[in-house]
């Protein structure tokens, strides 16, 4: 934990030093804020677009991202190292347990369970029923991602759904680094992986696996990644929260309505990825209706990830939508 905090402190210091160079002298200094992400994902494109297109700066903010793996994206907000976080409401609720200053979700970004299961090319799934899936998954070694993280929880949930015991019927490999799942399957250490883009096409390119055999976006509306900040921040500085929401909504609009412009920014964020991989990733995202259309986090979309953590036994103490989610800023932005 000390190493994680030290790394976060270094990333935060670097972010703040860099942010000083971005102040708009013509309109006064921009307010610096840091948003933490668990991994650099194509799914977070609306946030990247809002930064690249200057939507935050139009609101008077200078936003810097830090990538904090191993669950540190949420704890960085708890510790005050980051203003906000992009992640699941389930992770937020778990972190809020016993907190006097809970983290609250203020705008939706990814409204689908943005992960998929891929298998070693030697393995072939026959049929799509729960019985077929159970037979296919039983006895396999699965790179499911960090214990307690969304990919891991969804993997456990699916195993339970098809009648398997996650602790007995399969071997779950749970690396803290989400990008590790590619090498684990490529090297033959695991048979199956749970991952998202760009890991999916990276694995296809490296011959680790073929196209996903199961997609969790099939669960429908699912608040997978939302922007959240502390309750105290909302109370003390609602103006900044509103500005963040305004900028993210603009980013969502570009991604949903202007695919060509969104792709240009995607290329900047993932410069080493091939055009073919990025285009395939974008096609998958649009096909699965990945991104929220309006930033709204519905009660039903929150219920699904919280049901997953409940059924997997990770968190069983319940939640209150009204305390976990604050849609007043989205509604105010929409009125304009």
- Residue entry with tokens 């680094």: 177
Output the CA angle 148-87-144, nearest 5 degrees.
35
pTM of the entire predicted model: 0.87
Question: 268, 261 in Cβ contact below 8 A?
Answer: no
Helix (H) or strand (E) holding 35: strand 31-37
CA distance 85 to 158: 26
CB atoms under 10 Å from CB of 263, counted, come to 16
Non-local (6+) Cβ contacts of 259 within 8 A are 282, 286
Sheet architecture: strand order including 141-143 = 171-173, 141-143, 192-195, 116-119, 214-215
| Alpha carbons 283 and 328: distance in angstroms, whole number | 32
Over residues 9-35, the pLDDT tens digits come to 455 444 444 444 433 434 568 999 999
Q: How far apart are CA 249 and CA 3, in angstroms?
A: 35
The whole-angstrom separation of Cα 143 and Cα 155 is 9
**End-to-end CA gap in the chain:** 43
State the Cα–Cα distance between residues 97 and 115, nearest whole angstrom. Answer: 26
Q: What is the pLDDT of residue 70?
A: 78
* Cα–Cα dist 195/152, whole Å: 10
How far is the C-alpha of 227 from the C-alpha of 299, rounded, in Å? Answer: 16
Which phi and psi (to 5°) does residue 268 adopt?
-65, -40
pLDDT of residue 28: 66
pLDDT score at 198: 85
Pairing status of strand 192-195 against strand 116-119: antiparallel
Residues 68, 178, 228, 42: is their CA dihedral positive or negative? positive
Q: In Å, what is the CA distance from 289 to each residue of 48, 156, 286?
A: 18, 24, 5
Neighbour tally for 193: CB within 10 Å:
34
Q: Rounded to whole angstroms, how far apart are CA atoms 324 and 75?
A: 16
**Token pair of 78, please?**
């708890």
pLDDT in tens, the chain (336 residues): 444 445 544 554 444 444 444 334 345 689 999 999 998 989 999 999 999 999 999 999 999 999 987 788 999 999 999 999 999 999 999 999 889 999 999 999 999 999 999 999 999 999 989 999 999 999 999 999 989 889 999 999 999 999 999 999 999 999 988 889 999 999 999 999 999 998 899 999 999 999 999 999 999 999 999 999 999 999 999 999 999 999 999 999 999 999 999 999 999 999 998 898 899 999 999 999 999 999 999 999 999 999 999 999 999 999 999 999 999 999 999 987
Residues 18 and 109: their CA atoms lie apart, in Å, by 26
């Amino acid at each position: 934990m000390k190493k994680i905090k030290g790394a976060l402190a270094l990333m935060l210091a670097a972010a703040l030093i860099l942010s000083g160079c971005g102040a708009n002298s013509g309109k006064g200094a921009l307010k610096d804020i840091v948003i933490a992400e668990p991994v650099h994902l194509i799914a977070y494109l609306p946030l990247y677009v809002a930064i690249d297109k200057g939507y935050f700066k139009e609101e008077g903010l200078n936003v810097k991202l830090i990538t904090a793996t191993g669950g540190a994206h949420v704890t960085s907000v708890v510790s005050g190292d980051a203003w906000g976080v992009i992640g699941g409401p389930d992770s937020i609720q778990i972190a809020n347990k016993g907190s006097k200053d809970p983290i609250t979700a203020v705008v939706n970004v990814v409204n689908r369970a943005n992960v998929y299961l891929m298998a070693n090319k030697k393995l072939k799934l026959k049929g799509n029923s729960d019985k077929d899936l159970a037979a296919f998954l039983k006895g396999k070694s699965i790179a499911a991602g960090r214990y307690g993280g969304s990919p891991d929880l969804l993997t456990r949930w699916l195993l339970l759904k098809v009648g398997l015991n996650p602790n007995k019927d399969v071997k779950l490999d749970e690396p803290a680094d989400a990008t590790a799942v590619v090498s684990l399957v490529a090297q033959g250490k695991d048979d199956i992986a749970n991952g998202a883009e760009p890991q999916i096409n990276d694995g296809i390119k490296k011959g680790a696996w073929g196209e996903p055999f199961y997609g969790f976006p099939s669960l429908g509306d699912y608040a997978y990644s939302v922007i959240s900040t502390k309750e105290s921040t909302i109370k003390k500085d609602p103006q900044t929260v509103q500005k963040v929401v305004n900028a993210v909504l603009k980013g969502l609009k570009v991604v949903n309505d202007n695919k060509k412009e969104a792709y240009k920014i995607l290329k900047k964020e993932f410069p080493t990825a091939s055009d073919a991989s990025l285009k395939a990733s974008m096609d998958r995202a649009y096909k699965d209706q990945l991104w929220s259309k309006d930033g709204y986090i519905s009660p039903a979309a929150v219920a699904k990830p919280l049901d997953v953590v409940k059924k997997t036994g990770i968190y069983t103490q319940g939640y209150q939508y009204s305390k976990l989610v604050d849609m007043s800023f989205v509604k105010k932005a929409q009125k304009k």
